[in-house]
Amino acid sequence: MHPAPSVIIFTTLSGLGFGLLAFLCLGYPSMGGLVAFVFFAIGFGLAIGGLLSSTFHLGHPERAIKAFSQWKSSWLSREAWLSLFALVLSGIYALGRIFFDIDLAIIGLLSAIFCIATVFATSMIYAQLKTVPRWNSGATPIAFLVFSIAGGALLSGQISVALPLLALAGVIQILSWILGDKAFTQSGTNLATATQLTLNPSEVRSFEAPHTGTNYLLQEFVYKVGRKHSSKLRIMGSILAFGMPIIFLSLPFSHFIALLAVITHIAGMFIIRWLFFAQAEHVVGLYYGKR
């Protein structure tokens, strides 16, 4: 799949932002006034910035409001609603914290639930696609949720929670790579089922593509650049996103080291999210003799 920067930025930043907002709305850390303002500003900045970034890959962003209409069937539409609820509720909670120094606990709890639900809806946009076997598994929502919560714990300074969650996130990422690498073959879709010309996929090959140039399908779904570096990038991504923050957080606390932990985590998550798209193979590539 084509790793569009707008979608990578969106999933990475909004995942982190909603994770952070969930912790803040549960009262971790408990604070008020200017400190609360700064924390919430970071949370809203990441969440809203990510959501805005996602509109850049739309052909007609001016019609984006219509995406709220199909929540009965579409995970993208559900994500729109859930993110709206999450932002409005956590906005109310944040106002209470910043200006009145009160803890609207029930609204805070609801905000946290909607924040996490938003991340779940985002993950289901990818996990629902049978056409992309690597994504079409329970591992996708689990990974998105754990990354978001671990990132939220890190950004909100909940070190004792962040340490085990970052380790767990690393394990889940490695497991989902191991499972994901087999997913396409195990999906049972191959050129033989795609063409119905033979039962044995080794007996059929693409002889000629329908067009000499490229097209939307090849640009969007058959992305091979950088795949040869994937194992190096996996190691780099895991060390940056999970390994280094764990080391930094284990050191005696200082704000500078905490900042380093956050920066390496975000950098690593961008690499991991880039791989999430770049390594995903769509079954339509089979028709072109490509993956």
Partner 1 sequence: MTLLPEKTEKKLGLVIDLDTCVGCHACVVSCKGWNTENYGAPLSDENAFGAEPVGSFLNRIHSYEVTPADKPAHLVHFPKSCLHCENAPCVTVCPTGASYKRVEDGIVLVNESDCIGCGLCAWACPYGAREMDPIEKVMKKCTLCVDRIYNENLPKEDQVPSCVRTCPAGARHFGDLGDPNSDVSILVEERGGTDLMPEQGTLPVNKYLPPRPKNQMDSTDILAPYLEPIANEPDGFFKWLDKTLDGI
Euclidean distance between CA atoms 34 and 112, whole angstroms: 21
Write down the least CB distance from residue 20 to partner 1, Å.
Answer: 26
Question: On the CB side of 104, how many CA atoms lie within 13 Å of its CA?
Answer: 17
Write down the least CB distance from residue 215 to partner 1, Å.
Answer: 6
Which residue stretch of 25-33, 112-120, 184-192, 238-246 sits at the interface with partner 1 (rule: CB under 8 A)? 184-192
CB closer to partner 1 out of 128 and 158: 128
- Cα–Cα distance list, 175 to 68, 130, 151, 162, 167 (Å): 34, 20, 19, 20, 12
73 touching partner 1, by CB under 8 A: yes
128 touching partner 1, by CB under 8 A: yes
Q: Which of 34, 60, 252, 256 binds partner 1 (CB under 8 A)?
A: 60
CB closer to partner 1 out of 83 and 238: 83
Structural contact between residues 16 and 152, judged by C-beta atoms closer than 8 angstroms: yes
**Distance, CA of 24 to chain centre:** 20
- Cα–Cα distance list, 231 to 61, 155, 185, 227, 246 (Å): 36, 28, 19, 8, 21
Residues 6+ apart with CB under 8 A from 257: 248, 249, 251
Which residue stretch of 59-67, 85-93, 151-159, 270-278 sits at the interface with partner 1 (rule: CB under 8 A)? 59-67
Write down the least CB distance from residue 275 to partner 1, Å.
Answer: 18
Residues that contact partner 1, how many (by CB under 8 A)? 59
Which residue stretch of 30-38, 40-48, 178-186, 216-224 sits at the interface with partner 1 (rule: CB under 8 A)? 216-224
Euclidean distance between CA atoms 152 and 25, whole angstroms: 11
Residues 6+ apart with CB under 8 A from 88: none
Q: Which of 18, 40, 44, 75 binds partner 1 (CB under 8 A)?
A: 75
Which residue stretch of 22-30, 106-114, 121-129, 168-176 sits at the interface with partner 1 (rule: CB under 8 A)? 121-129
10 touching partner 1, by CB under 8 A: no
Residues 6+ apart with CB under 8 A from 227: 278, 279
Which residue stretch of 15-23, 71-79, 164-172, 234-242 sits at the interface with partner 1 (rule: CB under 8 A)? 71-79
Enter the DSSP assignment of 198: -
214 touching partner 1, by CB under 8 A: yes
Q: Which of 34, 63, 228, 255 binds partner 1 (CB under 8 A)?
A: 63
Q: Count of residues for the chain?
A: 291
Write down the least CB distance from residue 191 to partner 1, Å.
Answer: 8
Centre a 10 Å sphere on the Cβ of residue 31 and count the other Cβ atoms it contains: 17
Structural tokens at position 253: 């606390």
129 touching partner 1, by CB under 8 A: yes
Q: Which of 142, 204, 260, 263 binds partner 1 (CB under 8 A)?
A: 204
Which stretches of the chain bind partner 1, using CB under 8 A?
A: 1, 57-61, 63-64, 66-70, 72-77, 80, 125, 128-132, 187-189, 191, 193-198, 200, 203-211, 213-217, 219-221, 282-284, 287-288
